[in-house]
Amino acid sequence: GLGLAYAKNESFGEWYSEVVVNGEMIEYYDISGCYILRPSTMAIWETLQAFFDVEIKKMNIKNAYFPLFVTENVLQKEKDHIEGFAPEVAWVTKSGQSDLEVPIAIRPTSETVMYPYFSKWIRGHRDLPLKLNQWCNVVRWEFSHPTPFIRSREFLWQEGHTAFATKEEADTEVLEILELYRRIYEEYLAVPVVKGRKSELEKFAGGLYTTSVEAFIPDTGRGVQGATSHCLGQNFSKMFEIDFENEKGEKAKVWQNSWAYSTRTIGVMVMIHGDNKGLVLPPKVANIQVIVIPVPYRDADMQAIFAACSSTVELLRAAGFRADHDFRENYSPGWKYSNWEMKGVPLRIEIGPKDIANEQVRVVRRDNGAKSDVQVASLVEQVTDMLSNIQESLFNAAKAKRDSCLKVVHTWEEFMAALNNKKLILAPWCDEEEVEKDVKARTKGENGAAKTLCSPFDQPELPEGTLCFASGKPAKKWTYWGRSY
């Protein structure tokens, strides 16, 4: 049948898989963990890319493209933390029937691809800052269960790699990029996120510190890392000898950052806004914002109805909206309503004989189902208001939902109760890694262990004498905890 077989609040995993397929965003592929990204996904990706690309170019960051392949000895250069990831690296070992002399890795990320050339290109302080970005795919042969957009063996992302003369410049850029990631989620995808710093245990091991934007999926009670912006310190410049002669003529190591967001952003948006009728797309990223559907009647003047639909589409396109019509004659209006609801189109316009007679159209919102009859004369104004209202109310609803899942705890008992109630937990923590590891060990289970998500930059008041919820030691910072993807 037309509808979904699974309900979001009953079988979330199955609901999600069905929605991304029926919504025509994803097609499953015959290699596990790999997915086909269909046009409506690419349209969303390109919208986010267009925004981010313009913003980084304002920061004088330039796009480049480095090879997909990495030699083994170069990849092993960051061996100190790579062993943690080694199983995820995919290797090319043959061409045709013959074995390659040396196996070649497919990039899981591009630090080791790029940094030997950073070392070659950076000589003096005039070569700094060097700021490059690339839009590409990466491969990580993950073993935990794959999830479209959220965890796949190949995904699209951008990876920024920058080098500065001073730590101050690097620190500043880390936060500028993080703010762009917040904007991608909150202004485009209508998803609320928290900005914060990763713990030493959760950060990128090769870096100095990691900042992230963290989202939360109320239906599963799991946090999801939305995007990351790392300061690498001088770790990689020591490893790859990326040094420069500073203005005093001394040899100095550069300070570096690396930052990324990926197609995971799209999966988070689907999880947050989707419902039991299918996708719900925020207007800012919807490829089609308004779909116009003719409603024929037996003795109606069909030509007049089709003409009214076409002129309505033209009117809306002229006003800058992404509008289209559905003239497929082998489907009923009712079938079309469900089909476009499944695909998450924010507004539907129905035009029948009565509408023609009254010089009006019937407008239906996807997010709340509200129907209204709008005079054609004020249609552009009404559609403008409705689309911005949909964008805003999707964000507000998601933020209210996320905030209703938030639980502030002070004791282990409260922590465990909140964790088992699918809550997003905010707890005072002593900031000791052993304690974090202990919490992981004590919460291990088939749903995975609890971990720190981030310590929010926006720290609530921490009264003197507040104790860590897990260790009882003096608390140092408020930290978000939860199970995660």
Ligand X SMILES: O=C(C[C@H]1NCCC[C@H]1O)Cn1cnc2c(c1=O)CCCC2
Which residues are at the interface with ligand X (CB under 6 A)? 82, 85, 88-89, 108-109, 140, 159, 204, 228, 230, 258-260
Residue 188: how many other CB atoms lie within 10 Å:
20
* 231 or 361: CB nearest ligand X: 231
State the angle between helix axes of 167-183 and 39-58 in degrees (0 to 180), rounded to the nearest 10.
150
Greatest CA separation for the chain = 88
* 105 or 281: CB nearest ligand X: 105
Round to whole Å and give the CA distance between 112 and 135.
Answer: 16
- Residue 350 carries which side chain, given as an amino acid letter? E
CB of 3 to ligand X, least distance (A): 38
* 40 or 229: CB nearest ligand X: 229
* 174 or 217: CB nearest ligand X: 174
Round to whole Å and give the CA distance between 313 and 321.
Answer: 9
Residue 481 has what DSSP assignment? E
Is residue 438 classed as helix, strand or coil in its secondary structure? helix
Round to whole Å and give the CA distance between 171 and 229.
Answer: 10
Report residue 416: phi and psi, to 5°.
Answer: -65, -40
* 142 or 414: CB nearest ligand X: 142
Round to whole Å and give the CA distance between 480 and 452.
Answer: 6
Helix (H) or strand (E) segment spanning residue 179? helix 167-183
CB of 13 to ligand X, least distance (A): 24
* 197 or 407: CB nearest ligand X: 197
Is residue 248 classed as helix, strand or coil in its secondary structure? coil
3-state helix, strand, coil in the chain (%, to 5): 35, 30, 35
CB of 44 to ligand X, least distance (A): 21
CB of 296 to ligand X, least distance (A): 53
Torsion, Cα 172 181 82 200, to 10 degrees, reads 60
Round to whole Å and give the CA distance between 359 and 355.
Answer: 6
- Do you find a cis peptide bond into 39, omega within 30 degrees of 0? no
* 104 or 260: CB nearest ligand X: 260
**Long-range contacts of 405-409, Cβ-Cβ distance < 8 Å, separation of 24 or more:** 405/216, 405/218, 405/221, 409/469
CB of 22 to ligand X, least distance (A): 31
CB of 230 to ligand X, least distance (A): 6
* 140 or 198: CB nearest ligand X: 140
* 169 or 324: CB nearest ligand X: 169
CB of 85 to ligand X, least distance (A): 3
Residue whose entry in the numeric block shows the structure tokens 């917040």:
182
CB of 15 to ligand X, least distance (A): 29
CB of 177 to ligand X, least distance (A): 10
Report residue 12: phi and psi, to 5°.
Answer: -55, -50
